[in-house]
Amino acid sequence: MTARIAQVLLDSPLPQLDHLFDYAVPDHLVGAVTMGCRVRVPLRMGNRVVDAFVVRLVETSDFSGSLHEIESVVTSVAVLPPQLYDLARRVADRQAGSASDVLRLAIPPRYVRVEKAFGSEEARNARRDARARLTETLSNRAELIESAHPFSNIEPGSCRSVIMPTGTSSLPSGDVPAWTISVAQAAADALRGGESSLIVVPSYRDSDDFIRALTSLGVGDALVRTDARQSGGERYAAYLRILEREPVIVVGNRSATYAPAHNIGLIVMWDDGDSLFSEPLAPYAHARDVALVASQLAGSRIVFAGNVASVEAQRLVSLGFASEWSASRKSYPQVVPTDSLVNEGSRARIPSVAWAHAREQSALGPVLLQVARAGYAPALCCKECRVRAVCSTCSGPLSMPSARSTPTCAWCGAMAAQWRCPDCASTAFRLISSGSERTAEELGRAFPNTRVIVADGAHRVQNVLDEPCLVIATPGAEPLAQNGYRCVVVLDGESYRSRAGLRVDEDAVRHWCNALALARHDATCFLVGAGPQLGRVIATWDLRGFAKRELQQRAALGLPPVRRAATVTGPFADVDSACNNVRSIGRTRVMGPTSAQGDARAIVLFDYRDGDAVTSALRASIVTTATKSGRRKSGDSRTERVVRLRVRVDDAELGDSL
């Protein structure tokens, strides 16, 4: 008997359709319907035809009704390999979401032209030649990972948290951060053993650096890049490469964690504390969690590497799940913590010792100043009575985008040309903080013969040469300096201390270390306004101890990542009933629901051991509200918005409100 029944996953965001449906394979499609291919199937009386993925082909169906037939095959390319379905299912369950939502992030849209080009004889030959070159290169290459390597001796299927040595490496194509070489070596070694690697980085500029490092090792032919800057066709072409049953090295942003590469032996996530790893689309799975599930399914090694250890990675260490490797403190630059004197003007913002040293070093080579914010003046107040200037329409903070521009609201973008102080009626402003551009302007005056370079979200600079210059950069936008910076000054430390939230200290330390990591090993650096505790952490480079203490604090409070958390939002009655469905599970604690502007919100804290029970109960609530009360129509107007229950599991942004 032949497998004439296809179990398919419908490509629909409806939670009540998130399970496998059985369809009969008609005679004329036998052979064309393969596992993992895209098909179109009728849903309900044949009126509607929806896209679906064939997950399995079986001989018998458990469904009691009569089966409909698959209508057509969209493409016979198996875009959903079984391992990817398993991953999507596990991630969806963990997030109380739909597998099809996960697959929409994992599988790029189809491009017929790209598919045809990929399957052409010419393209196949080119790939075969590249493979032959690669085999040749790898057979001549000695093992790259030695015992001192941060990735040495990681057992298959196990996890490691690595605090990487800092510094830069020189390549013929320019300089790259030293970590990219270490990671590229590990990926090349895995490739030699016939294994694929997934290298997951926060942004495309990390990808650029890594790709140069990998190419320098001569294994560029195995590289597949996936990121959000690619066109749709490029993404699909990359996906088709990944699907080939050949080992590859995938580098990309958070979506690369889903890559269904052949025989994945190694997953590396760089700087997993970066908020870019938090997925903004349903079901909001954090790439770190996806990577952990993927490594478990593939039995691959997984490494969380960075200039710091995240609290989440440290938790894995403290559980004994992950081994740890930390760079020697001797390899770090010396950092002098200082306090700023006044929060105004460049002279006072930069303590005199730091000022003198930065001036001296900037005559010899590149010096980096990290400022907390981009733009000119991120905050303004009334010149007379010093009250904070806010937008008259939305009460957002007013800021100055450039030196002589009209004050603008940072939230709604409204121009405040006729601003008048609500307290004293004055119309004059005072600038109360400095962004990257104002800092550059001030320093340009103070260092008249030095070249000043601004690097922030609007001014992207990837590298600077080993020549005298002053670089003003915001966190995450620091250019790499050839041979390293001669001095790094981290300013605005106090701006972190005034923020509230669970992760502010962690983020501050991460941002500072990522800047300080760009200094030469013999540099003297300055950290301004960090306060005594965090200042000591950086001065002694006690990053592992810091992560441990943060973890202990979270444990004492019973907060993530020591416990898991889900936020539930929607109409009050729905949120309330969802909460009641989880309240009695284990040691689950429900905070709320609270009602704010329409939607109610509750936070559910639960133990890892109760994870399956809690997420499946939340999922059941979502299905119930979607089919019953969810279709409430407001009687008088046409604003019949379908209010649904939304659940975000392990949402990193939750920390901001705790």
Partner DNA sequence: AGCACGCCGACT
Partner DNA sequence: GTCGGCGTGCTC
Rounded to a whole number of angstroms, the CA Rg of the chain reads 27
Residues 604-643 that bind DNA (CB under 7 A): 626-631, 633, 642
* Nearest-approach distance from CB 570 to DNA, in angstroms: 13
| Of 448 and 635, CB closest to DNA | 635
* Nearest-approach distance from CB 107 to DNA, in angstroms: 21
Q: If you ran DSSP here, which 8-state letter would residue 586 be given?
A: T
Q: Which stretch binds DNA (CB under 7 A): 19-27, 269-277, 421-429, 578-586?
A: 19-27
> Site for DNA (CB under 7 A): which residue of 3, 22, 86, 446?
22
| Of 5 and 102, CB closest to DNA | 5
- How many of the chain's residues bind DNA (CB under 7 A)? 27
The residue among 463, 389, 471 whose CA lies nearest residue 436 is 471
If DSSP codes are grouped into helix, strand and coil, which group holds residue 176?
Answer: strand
Q: Is 368 exposed, middle or buried (0-12, 13-18, 19+ CB in 10 A)?
A: buried
* Nearest-approach distance from CB 601 to DNA, in angstroms: 21
Residues 41-80 that bind DNA (CB under 7 A): 41-45, 47-48, 61, 63, 65, 67-68
> Site for DNA (CB under 7 A): which residue of 4, 9, 11, 21?
21
| Of 23 and 304, CB closest to DNA | 23
* Nearest-approach distance from CB 223 to DNA, in angstroms: 41
* Nearest-approach distance from CB 259 to DNA, in angstroms: 30
Q: Is 245 exposed, middle or buried (0-12, 13-18, 19+ CB in 10 A)?
A: exposed
Instruction: Report the 3 state secondary structure along 400-422.
Output: ECCCCCCCEECCCCCECCCCCCC
Tell me how far apart the alpha carbons of residues 632 and 78 are, in angstroms, rounded to a whole number.
Answer: 40
* Nearest-approach distance from CB 28 to DNA, in angstroms: 17
SS3 content of the chain, % helix, strand, coil (to 5): 35, 25, 40
Q: If you ran DSSP here, which 8-state letter would residue 110 be given?
A: P
Q: What is the pairing mode between strands 223-226 and 249-252? A: parallel
> Site for DNA (CB under 7 A): which residue of 14, 132, 348, 573?
14
| Of 337 and 630, CB closest to DNA | 630
Tell me how far apart the alpha carbons of residues 287 and 304 are, in angstroms, rounded to a whole number.
Answer: 11
| Of 55 and 303, CB closest to DNA | 55
* Nearest-approach distance from CB 620 to DNA, in angstroms: 13
* Nearest-approach distance from CB 56 to DNA, in angstroms: 12
Q: What is the pairing mode between strands 48-58 and 322-326? A: unpaired
| Of 18 and 478, CB closest to DNA | 18
Q: What is the pairing mode between strands 408-409 and 398-399? A: antiparallel
| Of 97 and 165, CB closest to DNA | 97
Backbone phi, psi, residue 567, to 5°? -100, 135
Tell me, what amino acid is at 232?
G
Tell me how far apart the alpha carbons of residues 541 and 308 are, in angstroms, rounded to a whole number.
Answer: 10
| Of 37 and 517, CB closest to DNA | 37
The residue among 571, 553, 369, 400 whose CA lies nearest residue 470 is 369
* Nearest-approach distance from CB 642 to DNA, in angstroms: 4
The count of other CB atoms within 10 Å of the CB of residue 635 is 6
| Of 7 and 168, CB closest to DNA | 7
* Nearest-approach distance from CB 484 to DNA, in angstroms: 55
Q: Does 541 bind DNA (CB under 7 A)?
A: no
* Nearest-approach distance from CB 566 to DNA, in angstroms: 22
* Nearest-approach distance from CB 70 to DNA, in angstroms: 9
| Of 63 and 321, CB closest to DNA | 63
The residue among 569, 570, 571, 629 whose CA lies nearest residue 604 is 569
| Of 7 and 180, CB closest to DNA | 7
Query: 442-459 burial, b if ≥16 CB within 10 A, otherwise e?
Result: bbbeebeebebbbbbeeb
| Of 48 and 245, CB closest to DNA | 48
The DSSP H or E segment spanning 48 is strand 48-58
| Of 16 and 405, CB closest to DNA | 16
Cα 486–Cα 460–Cα 525 angle in degrees, nearest 5: 20
* Nearest-approach distance from CB 639 to DNA, in angstroms: 14
The count of other CB atoms within 10 Å of the CB of residue 30 is 11
Q: Which stretch binds DNA (CB under 7 A): 12-20, 30-38, 257-265, 307-315?
A: 12-20
Q: Which stretch binds DNA (CB under 7 A): 16-24, 147-155, 317-325, 608-616?
A: 16-24
How many C-alpha atoms does 362 have within 13 Å on its Cβ side?
Answer: 25
> Site for DNA (CB under 7 A): which residue of 9, 17, 201, 398?
17
Residues in contact with DNA by the rule CB under 7 A: 14, 16-17, 21-24, 41-45, 47-48, 61, 63, 65, 67-68, 626-631, 633, 642
